[in-house]
Chain A
């Protein structure tokens, strides 16, 4: 299971990096979203993978670490808000610069 999650995080990160290096704003936004998915998954797994355990410390019983879940929640909220913001910003850049290239001008012009 750890190996599968690690591979998934790796693939998400690779796709995110590739897309955020593209020249148009829409793929860049998608890339940022994929990167935030990757990091959310990564943070979540940092509390170790446990199944069916309560997030409470009790004597003698094993437990699921609750802290990464709280961290992930914070990270999700922030990245969700920022994705919304960057979408609006891209639309505004599209309107002001008359094209959707990240540098504001079509290459070769």
Chain B
């Protein structure tokens, strides 16, 4: 048992504490420390990925308490990939111009590291109650991040976001409590074992709790009809925060994938296939609703937020289709859409500063200084987001569409995804022409964009291009991760036998 697996939790936690202690310091230390820690996190994530890349499952017993009684962390391929995606996204976001300065700026970095801590914990934990705790950690950090800066719209959207998530947390606890009452354990691997031998009379409670958990995860993942909070929350917050939140809906999707492959997967006994009638139709509804919102948006940031809803729907469609091919396609799409959505949010920030007082409203605006450069980057990111060739969005969507063939949902999936992709292109093309061509020289523009301001969007775009260049090996890896996930017996065995394998040193 190596200690590597707990580093993605300890590194951001300790960095956050150090940054909190440095809060009053006059020297602008926060950004360098935060960025260095996030780069360190990338390195740790790569090491973790190399360690679990051959299919081995790393289990870490906290305090060396043996598995079903103590708390475990478990890293398989999926968890390691999620940690890496989070770390890369965090690096990209921190490369962007800091949204706040002074005291607020130092708070931003503290909360940012705490957010990374919560995210990594949620990806690595093997315990259902700990999943709840890490959800709370990342949510509490996200409340602070969302509200930083203040302002009418932001406060109102923040209030909705906080209240909704508090209700969600209550439901999560109800579900966890019911499952514990019936199964007598909270370790997810142990739960899977107990569930298989559960008497028929208790199945109703387990099904109810399972669907309650689904409602909670659907709220986090912005699955229709629980997606209405997202455009407000993401659209009105500051750009780096919105970009970082691109991973937040994926946490919900990850939790659905993890919990339902372990507890309600195809060969998990009596409660198998609990979500089958729900996930795909709701996900397609999400895609449609997000597209409608995107076409109706009057601001670029709102449009980007609606595109996050669309991507969440597309992702959950892939996960809902089930089977190794579809889940692998979903995992590839997950990495792509996280980077692309974050790049769009950050570019929106650059554009709205270049436009001065009009910000990102989609109305006749000023002639932008360096407009052609901005328009070019916007077009590249729009191509990636909307899934046109040759960028990563196209490969992701194509893999998902291909995996739906021979599925009973094929006609619906193909129809909805292709039509909404077309509408997505139309919506983004309209915004682009509005921003860059419908100009009026008499309107005053903002300061000229400096090239360094484009570093962060371009970095995230480059990650997307890397996804295309190495699409073959990455897809093979996604397939391996999906296969490992859908046959959880190895995971269960690794967690439950970790106690016997001996102690730490």
Interface residues of chain A, those whose CB is within 8 Å of chain B, are: 16, 20, 25, 28, 32, 35-36, 38-39, 42-43, 46, 67-68, 71, 74-75, 78-79, 81-82, 85-86, 89-90, 92-93, 96-97, 102-104
- Interface 0/1 of B144-180, CB less than 8 Å to A: 0001001110011011101100110110011011101
7 A-B pairs within 8 Å (CB atoms) are namely: A25-B159, A32-B170, A35-B167, A68-B177, A71-B177, A78-B133, A82-B162
Report, as a range, how many residues of chain B touch the other chain.
20 to 34
- CA A38 – CA B167 in complex, angstroms? 12
- CA A36 – CA B162 in complex, angstroms? 14
B163 adjacent to A86 (CB under 8 Å)? yes
Contact A43 B173, CB 8 Å, known A92-B155, A96-B150, A103-B156: yes
A35 adjacent to B170 (CB under 8 Å)? yes
B156 adjacent to A82 (CB under 8 Å)? no
B177 adjacent to A67 (CB under 8 Å)? no
**Residues from chain B with Cβ under 8 Å of A103 in the complex:** 156
B177 adjacent to A42 (CB under 8 Å)? yes
- CA A93 – CA B150 in complex, angstroms? 10
**Residues from chain A with Cβ under 8 Å of B198 in the complex:** none
- CA A32 – CA B150 in complex, angstroms? 23
B178 adjacent to A102 (CB under 8 Å)? no
**Residues from chain A with Cβ under 8 Å of B173 in the complex:** 39, 42-43, 75
In the complex, the 5 A-B pairs of residues with the closest C-beta atoms, listed nearest first: A46-B181, A104-B156, A43-B177, A39-B173, A46-B177
B174 adjacent to A39 (CB under 8 Å)? yes
B170 adjacent to A36 (CB under 8 Å)? yes
**Residues from chain A with Cβ under 8 Å of B177 in the complex:** 39, 42-43, 46, 68, 71
Chain B interface, DSSP helix/strand/loop, else mixed? helix
A90 adjacent to B166 (CB under 8 Å)? no
- CA A38 – CA B169 in complex, angstroms? 13
Task: Give the contacting residue for B140; candidates A25, A36, A82; CB below 8 A.
Answer: A82
B136 CB-CB contact with A under 8 Å? yes
B378 CB-CB contact with A under 8 Å? no
B162 adjacent to A86 (CB under 8 Å)? yes
**Residues from chain A with Cβ under 8 Å of B437 in the complex:** none
Contact A78 B155, CB 8 Å, known A28-B163, A36-B170, A86-B163: no
**Residues from chain A with Cβ under 8 Å of B174 in the complex:** 39, 42
Closest chain-B Cβ to A48's Cβ sits at a distance in Å of 8
